[in-house]
Structure 1
């Protein structure tokens, strides 16, 4: 695609003819009409061209048009930490994330969140679910950063007072890209009545209640000691588990807890990279799919690359479960693409808004270059996208019908200037934070080995 095509993509109305369209599965000779930020029509190319003579077709030869990825679990204000958490034992939020976020002021929190949003957009995410910051700033700072970057955001605010939650849920009525949500970091952080009230408030408002559940062995055992129930069981007992609930991680589940998820209609954010980098276990996502449990894929702020996330999702299932029972497919490529897009949108409460190339949905989509050695010759595009594709193939990222990124960089603000600011600000914040690492940096490990 050329610079003139880039300019064409910035029109208010578009008739796009990609080589391949990912709508459910991959189809050829199809087109989409985009107007006023939504898909107005999707169908056979010849029919749409005839129906819209007022629009000049934009031919996207060699490109796939697909829904943008949905990150079902992120922490936008943790971006300054990155490799400081590598190689650390579980529950690093106690030693790294909380101390780091509590050093953020409004200016540095904005930079951290915008940096994370830029990385997510570069990786093909058009929506992120922010799980709630511990920074002592107004949540509007995070909303501004996401909006200015151009990404759709399910904006979780940590809430222990229902009155505060009501204000947050009504605050964003006129915001195009911000969808409010309430969050409690972990079940043990709130009393029974608060868990129930906040979850119920979300249910009544049609919002998502975000909470980390059954992530680490230590938290499961603390819950058993305190309540005689595992965290997910405890949420059910206090009336906080329902279709509005988005349970982050859910890596350590009993068969009974899987049944609770399926029966309650609660959703899960399956975060496979987080399991590999800093977790105790892998969520049984393939079993969730077979059991009717709703779930999306989340990065947990680890690595903002949607294609590598789908690869990790399938690979983690294969290593954790498939090798033991001879399942060499683990759902197939299309399964993970669906849960990274439409399934993720459903899990974060935006199932009618985004996640699919369908008439009436928000025009949140990617243009992916198929003319690369990794996909030549092509035999099974969904599998190839999961196992072989990468973010460097993403030519364009469009959110709400607006071109946001072209070949990895913003079209209407200076991404490289943000990097310079983030490098300086991030080092200042980390220098102030009372972080406690268990292991040294990798350079220190080398020195010890020497």
Structure 2
């Protein structure tokens, strides 16, 4: 159904929005509306209640629509947007061969372009908040902040703070001073950007630095980010170097705690799960990354059962909130549920919760965003439910996880402002950005010392054809069938 309203209908500084469905903390409900005022949700209740509370405020009815919290991406690499398809088919630890060389070659202009492109992708996928894990570029992080603010997405901006560079030890005091300046620059700024500190992997920092950065984050009320147990090789390297697995390393260094967010956290032993639980450490579950470039799936349903705080992250793979939730459930079923006879793998709702409120909690933004509730920022999605995939509806929460699509997102609102309408921004030229990226990105990537192992798809097809010619007995399926039939 064509929407009986346009973007102009959402321009009022204060208005009551009355969708057919509203996704609250516990479940989707009907007959409820929200009062949006100056970028915040002032109240939630029936239309009559809100009109009594705010007489004269315009009412906009939204039949056939759902308003739900925006998705929260708890683990992204905004400065890797130029290289998304370079890692297809690559073995693990691609950061050594692709990401570090690529990011190290980015100047401020490329940093800005990559981050703004990634922010646009995220908004189109329904994300209203992204958490950047930190870049290896020496360029100023203000380029990333400017890009995300211009795009209109909320960003937790990580600053890398490791003090080991190969066999060289860096000056700890200067790193801590830079971390203090980063926190001061963005904390409480009233902008869409908030600060975070990161050490990409535990092995590139001394135990003293791991403890110091984690403690600094705890004292400042922000999150400390690190990758842990992402790949088998990382676990084995940690065992060889320290005699401890990565999560054990962090635990004994005093770097775990409520302020700590572990990206990936696959390949966990029962002891490591207990360490995470006992310290109230949070985990970013990245199921698409596991499918595309990992060799394990995080035990997310088990961690959920043990009340470990979880959010969902894209790891910069594909910014599509609905497909991320679908992967989150499916990966649990393939990796663990089928072997245990678990046909539910959570019952749908945990993945919807981890994609919204749970994500906000692990980023330290639970009081700011992540749910439709009074006092929260007006970060939400307007979803068209009048599509064949959603009719008839029996279980809306689970249907959003398994059946909903990105093309149902009509509007993306951040801080009360309509940022995207039907997939495109209203106040800046996204197509001009894409033209600029297309014109400049390939030159930037070509100048980076990237080592790619797996062939591009067309080259891989050609190699397959050449192997078939060298070994004539290896006929394709149609040729084999034809030969059998003629015989």
Place the TM-score, normalised by the shorter chain, in its bin: over 0.9
Q: What is the TM-score when the length of structure 1 is the normalising length?
A: 0.99
Partners of 1:14 and 1:425 lie apart in 2 by 42
**Counterpart of 1:66 in 2: which secondary structure?**
strand
- Radius of gyration: which is bigger? 2
Partners of 1:14 and 1:278 lie apart in 2 by 45
The structure 2 residue matched to 1:384, chosen from 380, 391, 399, is: 399
Aligned-residue offset at 1:17: 0.1
Matched pairs, number: 450
The structure 2 residue matched to 1:139, chosen from 138, 141, 146, is: 141
Given that residues 18 and 62 in structure 2 are in contact (C-alpha distance below 8 angstroms), is that contact kept between their aligned partners in structure 1? yes
Please tell me whether residue 373 in structure 1 is matched to residue 388 in structure 2: yes
Deviations 1:110-140 (A, max 9, x none): 0000000000000000000000011121111
Partners of 1:46 and 1:428 lie apart in 2 by 58
Q: Which position in structure 2 is the counterpart of 1:30?
A: 32
Residues 269-308 of structure 1: matches in 2 within 5 Å? 269-308=284-323
Deviations 1:11-30 (A, max 9, x none): 21120000100002100010
Aligned-residue offset at 1:432: 0.8
Partners of 2:346 and 2:394 lie apart in 1 by 18
The structure 2 residue matched to 1:174, chosen from 185, 189, 208, is: 189
Deviations 1:302-347 (A, max 9, x none): 0000000000000000000000001111111211000000000001
Aligned-residue offset at 1:2: 4.2
**Counterpart of 1:332 in 2: which secondary structure?**
coil
Deviations 1:148-187 (A, max 9, x none): 1000000001013211111101101324201100000000
Residues 164-313 of structure 1: matches in 2 within 5 Å? 164-172=178-186, 173-313=188-328
Partners of 1:14 and 1:267 lie apart in 2 by 36
Superposition misfits of 4+ residues, deviation over 6 angstroms:
none
Q: Which position in structure 1 is the counterpart of 2:445?
A: 430
**Counterpart of 1:265 in 2: which secondary structure?**
coil
Partners of 1:230 and 1:115 lie apart in 2 by 36
The structure 2 residue matched to 1:417, chosen from 424, 432, 441, is: 432
Q: Which position in structure 2 is the counterpart of 1:105?
A: 107
**Counterpart of 1:81 in 2: which secondary structure?**
helix
Deviations 1:52-89 (A, max 9, x none): 22112101111100000000000000000011100110
Once structures 1 and 2 are overlaid, which stretch shifts more, 341-350 or 165-174? 165-174
Given that residues 343 and 355 in structure 1 are in contact (C-alpha distance below 8 angstroms), is that contact kept between their aligned partners in structure 2? yes
Q: Which position in structure 1 is the counterpart of 2:85?
A: 83
Given that residues 36 and 43 in structure 2 are in contact (C-alpha distance below 8 angstroms), is that contact kept between their aligned partners in structure 1? yes
Given that residues 5 and 58 in structure 1 are in contact (C-alpha distance below 8 angstroms), is that contact kept between their aligned partners in structure 2? no
Deviations 1:377-408 (A, max 9, x none): 11111111111111110000000001100000
**Counterpart of 1:185 in 2: which secondary structure?**
coil
Aligned-residue offset at 1:6: 1.4
Q: Against the structure 1 CA distance between its residues 151 and 3, is the aligned structure 2 distance closer, same or farther, given a 3 Å change threshold?
A: farther
Deviations 1:201-238 (A, max 9, x none): 00000010000001111111111112111110111101
The structure 1 residue matched to 2:347, chosen from 332, 339, 359, is: 332
Once structures 1 and 2 are overlaid, which stretch shifts more, 165-174 or 361-370? 165-174
Structure 2: runs of 5 or more not aligned: 163-174, 466-487
Aligned-residue offset at 1:5: 3.4
Partners of 1:19 and 1:195 lie apart in 2 by 49
Q: What is the TM-score when the length of structure 2 is the normalising length?
A: 0.91
**Counterpart of 1:133 in 2: which secondary structure?**
coil
Once structures 1 and 2 are overlaid, which stretch shifts more, 317-326 or 41-50? 41-50
Q: Which position in structure 1 is the counterpart of 2:154?
A: 152
Residues 331-350 of structure 1: matches in 2 within 5 Å? 331-350=346-365
Partners of 1:197 and 1:3 lie apart in 2 by 55
Given that residues 14 and 58 in structure 2 are in contact (C-alpha distance below 8 angstroms), is that contact kept between their aligned partners in structure 1? no
**Counterpart of 1:49 in 2: which secondary structure?**
helix
Partners of 2:439 and 2:198 lie apart in 1 by 30
Structure 1: runs of 5 or more not aligned: none
Partners of 1:10 and 1:225 lie apart in 2 by 59
**Counterpart of 2:454 in 1: which secondary structure?**
coil
Partners of 1:203 and 1:262 lie apart in 2 by 17
Given that residues 211 and 253 in structure 2 are in contact (C-alpha distance below 8 angstroms), is that contact kept between their aligned partners in structure 1? yes
Once structures 1 and 2 are overlaid, which stretch shifts more, 82-91 or 4-13? 4-13
Given that residues 212 and 249 in structure 1 are in contact (C-alpha distance below 8 angstroms), is that contact kept between their aligned partners in structure 2? yes
**Counterpart of 2:412 in 1: which secondary structure?**
strand
Cα RMSD of the aligned pairs, angstroms, is: 1.0
Once structures 1 and 2 are overlaid, which stretch shifts more, 69-78 or 101-110? 101-110
**Counterpart of 2:315 in 1: which secondary structure?**
coil
Aligned-residue offset at 1:48: 1.3
**Counterpart of 1:47 in 2: which secondary structure?**
helix
